């Protein structure tokens, strides 16, 4: 629930943490901004709710949750004697609050599919620059912290690193809303164990087991939720829908859609387009899951055989069958599937490429080649978790697990 004390103090009900206090007026104003409110309509986990029906939580809720953890982390570090100014504190809160502002509909599932030339991080930076004009210089600092361009590296690491408050929030939140109990991490304890050495974020030695648990829980969430084979299937279908719709628009067809959706379906905008035409970002700033899925519902009835079949399947949750393998899918298998789908659905060899989909998914539990998680011992020694864990050895942690998948329709579509 949102309650306002004075003009701009708020308490927000969050089932994950109980209450979240918002004490800064500027933070309050950013949350009220229509671009941030848009995140209420972008689900954190795309189509995952087709497998875990509770997973309808949004980037809005996650961003505020991550900011809540940031408040706690900064308090802890401050109580341990690490210094940062009021502005640095506020800018760090802004950076984490807005770290996902550049996400579009269905976030990761459609990354670089709606706006093909820009990643969500690049879009985030465009938004931050624009908000600077409205909210002032503090955004300069926020951008530096977001981009890793500030001397107090730990502030950036709290926003983006292997132990950032982004991950600490989303693992806990995704676990809560999916109901996957094993994904629970002890974010409280991890934050309590945070320390800073030479401007870098590290973890006190007695937090080792919580870190191991965090790494294992993250991996479990990847394979059991984020890369669940039925979720993969739904996402692959969504990708094909967008691909086909873009193809049809390019081919001169007019399909149903909001004006904004059509704008982005018909054009391939570059970063320069965004810089030259400020209204373009305004438009993107209104696009959300509703534009996309409502179009899909309507396209299910359109004339194009391919698009309508794909959309009907998504709407009715008639998802493609997915097979997961440890080795790449062979050309023979792909051909075999294509042939049987062609004969079932009377498709052309071109069209079948929208229905037999293969690819790979990968996850490494931990990447210690970049910046790892450093453990601080009482004698001042700093060691990478991979060196000190007797369970999660370097070899295991550095291993990237890659799985290969092929998706194809289960059986003739039910088109009643």
Within residues 336-395, the interface with a copy of itself by CB under 8 A covers 365, 390-393, 395
Within 181-240, the residues that bind a copy of itself by CB under 8 A are 181-182, 184-186, 188-189, 192, 206, 209-210, 212-213, 216-217, 219-220, 223-225, 228, 230
Tell the smallest beta-carbon distance from residue 1 to a copy of itself (Å): 6
DSSP single-letter state for residue 228: -
φ/ψ (deg, to 5) at 70: -60, -45
Interface residue with a copy of itself, options 136, 148, 179, 328 (CB under 8 A): 179
**Of 45, 51, 242, 341, the one binding a copy of itself by CB under 8 A:** 51
Q: Identify the H or E element spanning 373.
A: none
Q: Is there a contact between 309 and 275 (Cβ–Cβ < 8 Å)?
A: no
Query: Least separation, in Å, of the C-beta of 147 and a copy of itself?
Result: 27
Per CB under 8 A, does 278 bind a copy of itself? no
Residue 41 or 338 having the CB closest to a copy of itself: 41
**What's the closest the beta carbon of residue 18 comes to a copy of itself, in angstroms?**
5
By beta-carbon proximity to a copy of itself, the closer residue of 254 and 350 is 254
- Distance in Å, CB of 195 to a copy of itself, minimum: 11
- Encoded one letter per residue, x for contact with a copy of itself by CB under 8 A and - for no contact, window 250-269 reads ------x-xx----------
Structure tokens at 24: 């800064």
Helical H segments across 33-160, by residue range: 34-38, 59-79, 86-97, 120-135, 138-147, 153-159
The H or E element spanning position 197 is strand 194-197
Joined together, the tokens standing for residue 416 give 């009643």
Stretch that binds a copy of itself, among 33-41, 158-166, 237-245, 328-336 (CB under 8 A): 33-41
- What character string, x for contact with a copy of itself (CB under 8 A) and - otherwise, covers 396-415? x--x-x--------------
- 11 touches a copy of itself by CB under 8 A: yes
Q: Which of 28, 135, 290, 345 binds a copy of itself (CB under 8 A)?
A: 290
Q: Residue 125 Cβ, how far from a copy of itself at the closest point, in Å?
A: 21
Among residues 54, 148, 278, 328, which is the contact residue for a copy of itself, using CB under 8 A? 54
Question: Pattern of binders to a copy of itself over 295-314, x per CB under 8 A?
Answer: --xx--x-------------
Query: What is the rounded CA–CA span in Å between residue 102 and residue 169?
Result: 18
Task: Tell me, by CB under 8 A, how many residues bind a copy of itself.
Answer: 79
DSSP of 121-135, one letter per residue?
Answer: HHHHHHHHHHHHHHH
The pair of three-digit structure tokens given for residue 48, joined into one six-digit string: 């995952």
DSSP string computed for 262-277: HHHHH----HHHHHH-
What Cα–Cα distance (Å) separates residue 53 from each residue in 7, 41, 221, 298?
A: 37, 17, 16, 23
Under the binding rule (CB under 8 A), the answer on residue 249 touching a copy of itself is: no
Residue 396 and residue 315: Cα distance in Å, rounded? 40
Helix (H) or strand (E) holding 13: strand 9-14
Of residues 94 through 133, those in contact with a copy of itself by CB under 8 A are none
315 or 334: whose CB is closer to a copy of itself?
Answer: 315
**102 or 207: CB nearest a copy of itself:** 207
Least separation, in Å, of the C-beta of 144 and a copy of itself?
27
User: Number of C-alpha atoms within 13 angstroms, CB side, residue 365?
Assistant: 19
Strand partners, 19: 13
What is the token pair recorded at 380? 């001042």
Stretch that binds a copy of itself, among 91-99, 156-164, 315-323, 344-352 (CB under 8 A): 315-323
SS3 107: helix
Q: Rounded to whole angstroms, how far apart are CA atoms 317 and 396?
A: 37
How big is the chain by its Cα radius of gyration, in Å?
23
Segment contacting a copy of itself (CB under 8 A): 110-118, 176-184, 264-272, 349-357? 176-184
Using the rule CB under 8 A, give the single segment among 37-45, 90-98, 146-154, 333-341 that binds a copy of itself: 37-45
| SS3 call for 11 | strand
- Binders of a copy of itself among residues 55 to 74 (CB under 8 A) are 56-58, 60-61, 64
Closest CA to 29 of 73, 93, 86: 93
């Amino acid at each position: 629930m949102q309650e306002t004390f004075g003009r701009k103090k708020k308490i927000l009900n969050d089932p994950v943490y109980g209450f979240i206090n918002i004490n800064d007026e500027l933070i309050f104003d950013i949350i009220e901004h229509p671009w941030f409110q848009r995140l209420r309509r972008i689900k954190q986990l795309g189509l995952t709710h087709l497998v875990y029906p509770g997973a309808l939580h949004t980037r809005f809720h996650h961003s505020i949750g991550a900011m809540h953890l940031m408040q706690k982390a900064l308090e802890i570090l401050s109580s341990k004697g690490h210094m940062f100014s009021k502005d640095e504190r506020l800018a760090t809160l802004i950076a984490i609050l807005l770290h996902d502002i550049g996400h579009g509909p269905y976030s990761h599932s459609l990354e670089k599919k709606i706006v093909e030339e820009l990643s969500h991080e690049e879009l985030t930076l465009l938004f931050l620059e624009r908000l600077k004009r409205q909210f002032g210089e503090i955004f300069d600092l926020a951008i530096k912290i977001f981009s890793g361009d500030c001397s107090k590296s730990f502030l950036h690491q709290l926003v983006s690193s292997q132990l950032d408050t982004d991950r600490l929030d989303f693992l806990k939140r995704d676990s809560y809303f999916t109901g996957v109990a094993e994904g629970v991490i002890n974010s409280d304890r991890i934050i309590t164990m945070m320390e800073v050495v030479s401007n870098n974020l590290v973890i006190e030695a007695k937090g080792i087991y919580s870190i191991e648990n965090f790494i294992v829980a993250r991996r479990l969430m990847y394979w059991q939720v984020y890369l669940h084979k039925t979720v993969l299937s739904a996402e692959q279908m969504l990708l094909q829908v967008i691909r086909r719709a873009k193809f049809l628009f390019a081919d001169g067809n007019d399909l149903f859609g909001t004006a904004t959706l059509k704008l982005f379906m018909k054009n391939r905008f570059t970063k320069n387009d965004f810089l030259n035409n400020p209204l373009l970002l305004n438009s993107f700033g209104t696009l959300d899951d509703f534009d996309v899925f409502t179009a899909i519902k309507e396209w299910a009835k359109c004339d194009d055989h391919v698009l309508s079949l794909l959309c009907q399947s998504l709407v009715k949750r008639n998802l493609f069958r997915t097979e997961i393998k440890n080795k790449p899918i062979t050309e023979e298998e792909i051909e075999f599937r294509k042939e049987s789908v062609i004969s079932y659905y009377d498709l052309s060899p071109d069209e079948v490429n929208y229905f037999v989909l293969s690819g790979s998914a990968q996850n490494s539990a931990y990447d210690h080649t970049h910046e790892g998680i450093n453990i601080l011992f009482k004698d001042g020694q700093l060691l990478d978790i991979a060196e000190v864990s007797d369970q999660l050895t370097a070899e295991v942690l550095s291993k990237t697990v890659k799985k290969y998948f092929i998706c194809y329709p289960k059986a003739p579509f039910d088109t009643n």
